[in-house]
Amino acid sequence: GVTFKVHRQNFSGTGQVSSAFGLDGGLMYRPNSDSPLLSGLSLGFHFQNLIRPQLKLGAYEDTLANRMSFGVMKSIPIGFSGKMNILLDYVQGQFEGGSIHAGAEYQFRDMGTVRLGFDRDAPAFGAGVSYQFVDIDYSFSNLSTDGEFNPSHRFSLTFNLGKSREEKIFLAEQERKEFERRLVERTKEEERQVRVEQHLENGRQFFAEKRYFDAYSEFQQVIANDPFNKEAKSMFDSSRAQIQSQFDQRQEQAIAQAIDKKLELENQKYVELHFERGKVFLDKNQFTDAMIQFNLALERSPDDPIILEAINTTQRRLNAEVSKLVSDARQEFQRGNFTDALRIVGEAMVLTPDVNELQGELQTLERRIKLQQYIIDGLALLELGEYEKALGVFEKALELDPTSQTIKEYYNKAKLNVDTKRERMSPDDERQHLVATEHFLAGRYEKALEIWKQLADKYPTNKKVQDAIKTTEDRIRRTK
């Protein structure tokens, strides 16, 4: 950063006035690192009067001296609510020797601070408290640069009007989250309205074509998305009435033409029972069960157009549901949610056990998801020093994709470490190690670390345990 400044000097005795332009410059660097050495580190440099102001009153010219400062600060967390800032400055002026300033500050939340330091070999002390919008501070130090004056006590009272920087950042973050929430809700509402309108239009068209079961299914989906849609409710009831009317006519015709009317009556009751069950399952989007019931009805009434239409409608909705599941699985895969993606693929495969084309697409997606999950699990095991398990995982990955050079590199790395000599643990302790590994893979790092540290007390030279502790501690630091 840079600071532009204008100096103005006025000598009242002679009425002379002089002005001059000056410039200060500074740099600050904070490494973005999880390393214990670099985390919380700040480096700074300040050059005062980089462009030196030249003030001239009459024949006399006064050029302000420049001054350079170098500083470093290390922030160290103390417990869960405090931190210690250690600071060191070196100052070198154009006409003055170099001087060192050092100090430390303990800060507890945003409630209070305690400071202690040395300025040109003179002690300095300070403390402050904050409450709501009021800051009270006390300091004891020497204000003079040459030590001509005695140290002084200073008290300050600060009123913070308006919101702090942290509060503004927090409020901005809350506003962003609220905006995203409203955007998601608005998007979902728009998608819901599109679905309602699409199903409503399809239902109208099917009803006009006298495809009453298709119309019944479409209006049922409208009601599922918009329970108070009067048109959908009315058309749904009309479609259901038409279906029942046609169904009753078919039954009466079949009974009238039958030789054994009692047997045919029982047969038609069987057909109606399974047809109604199929409708219930279809309303619940349980397509496989609905298809089973409709086919049972069709066995007793092979040429019934209503049952055939119900089967076609169920198949059409089943295909639409599977297509949606495939799309959802791809989105979860792209987001890195591999477990959810696999679950969704599994749901889709259950719905389409006999569709070869769709099964091929689902199997390809499942293979990609499993491959990515194997790589993630293998790398996690590799970090923990579980080289045998990592080797097994990468072997499974290579079975899915034998040509992947990346997987081959991971496989070779695990294989090189398999024969590393380690201190052997007892079977009970090996089981404890496996429990800790499960905690680590589930993200319960503190619990895993606790178990591994207990094992380290018994097996201080075991490389597997030591590697696991180091990896877990690094992971905990990165997640804080």
What pLDDT is stored for residue 423 in this prediction? Answer: 56
Each residue of 99-130: pLDDT tens digit?
A: 888 899 998 877 889 998 887 667 888 999 98
End-to-end CA distance of the chain: 30
What pLDDT is stored for residue 214 in this prediction? Answer: 86
* Residue 72: band (very low, low, confident or very high) from pLDDT cuts 50, 70, 90: very high
Mean pLDDT, the chain, rounded, equals 82
- Block residue for tokens 């002084």: 152
Single out the residue of 316, 270, 323 nearest to residue 295, CA to CA.
270
* Burial classification of residue 282, based on how many CB atoms lie within 10 Å of its CB (0-12 exposed, 13-18 middle, 19 or more buried): buried
d(CA 385, CA 23): 56
d(CA 33, CA 39): 6
User: What are phi and psi for residue 473, nearest 5 degrees?
Assistant: -65, -40
The DSSP bridge pattern shows strands 122-131 and 134-141 to be antiparallel
* Residue 421: band (very low, low, confident or very high) from pLDDT cuts 50, 70, 90: very low
Amino acid at 81: S
Contact 380, 387 (CB under 8 A): no
103-107, 222-226, 257-261, 369-373: least confident range:
257-261
The DSSP bridge pattern shows strands 82-93 and 122-131 to be unpaired
User: What are phi and psi for residue 399, nearest 5 degrees?
Assistant: -65, -35
Asked if the model's pLDDT at residue 411 lies above 80, the reply is yes
d(CA 89, CA 475): 33
DSSP string computed for 132-149: TTEEEEEEEE---SSS-S
Asked if the model's pLDDT at residue 340 lies above 70, the reply is yes
Single out the residue of 290, 365, 281, 367 nearest to residue 328, CA to CA.
365
- Block residue for tokens 């069987």: 270
The DSSP bridge partners found for residue 29 are 43
Amino acid at 10: N
What single-letter DSSP state applies at residue 228? T
3-state secondary structure (DSSP) of residue 47: strand
Cα-atom radius of gyration of the chain, to the nearest Å? 39
What pLDDT is stored for residue 128 in this prediction? Answer: 92
Domain ranges in the chain?
Answer: 2-109, 120-162, 169-325, 355-420, 423-480
d(CA 460, CA 423): 9
What pLDDT is stored for residue 45 in this prediction? Answer: 93
The DSSP bridge partners found for residue 19 are 8
Give Dmax over CA atoms of the chain in angstroms: 134
Asked if the model's pLDDT at residue 424 lies above 80, the reply is no
In the predicted model, what is the mean pLDDT of residues 410-416? 78
Q: Return all residues near 19 (Cβ < 8 A) that are at least 6 apart.
A: 6, 7, 8, 9, 55
Instruction: Report how many helices (DSSP H) and strands (DSSP E) the chain contains, helices first.
Output: 13, 12
Each residue of 52-71: pLDDT tens digit?
A: 888 776 667 777 788 899 99
Asked if the model's pLDDT at residue 140 lies above 70, the reply is yes
d(CA 366, CA 332): 12
Each residue of 290-333: pLDDT tens digit?
A: 888 889 988 888 888 888 888 888 888 888 888 888 788 777 77
Single out the residue of 312, 325, 310, 413 nearest to residue 362, CA to CA.
325
What pLDDT is stored for residue 461 in this prediction? Answer: 64
d(CA 329, CA 339): 10
d(CA 179, CA 163): 21
d(CA 466, CA 455): 9
d(CA 449, CA 431): 15
Contact 120, 149 (CB under 8 A): no
Each residue of 164-222: pLDDT tens digit?
A: 677 778 888 888 888 888 887 888 888 888 888 988 898 899 889 888 888 888 888 88
Each residue of 12-36: pLDDT tens digit?
A: 666 677 888 888 899 999 887 766 6
d(CA 205, CA 219): 11
Each residue of 425-478: pLDDT tens digit?
A: 788 888 888 888 888 877 888 888 999 888 888 877 677 787 888 888 888 887
Each residue of 388-406: pLDDT tens digit?
A: 888 888 888 888 888 888 8
More confident site: 366 or 49: 49
3-state secondary structure (DSSP) of residue 254: helix
d(CA 442, CA 431): 17
Asked if the model's pLDDT at residue 420 lies above 50, the reply is no
Contact 321, 290 (CB under 8 A): no
What pLDDT is stored for residue 130 in this prediction? Answer: 86
Asked if the model's pLDDT at residue 44 lies above 90, the reply is yes
d(CA 217, CA 237): 11
Asked if the model's pLDDT at residue 232 lies above 70, the reply is yes
- Block residue for tokens 């601070």: 113
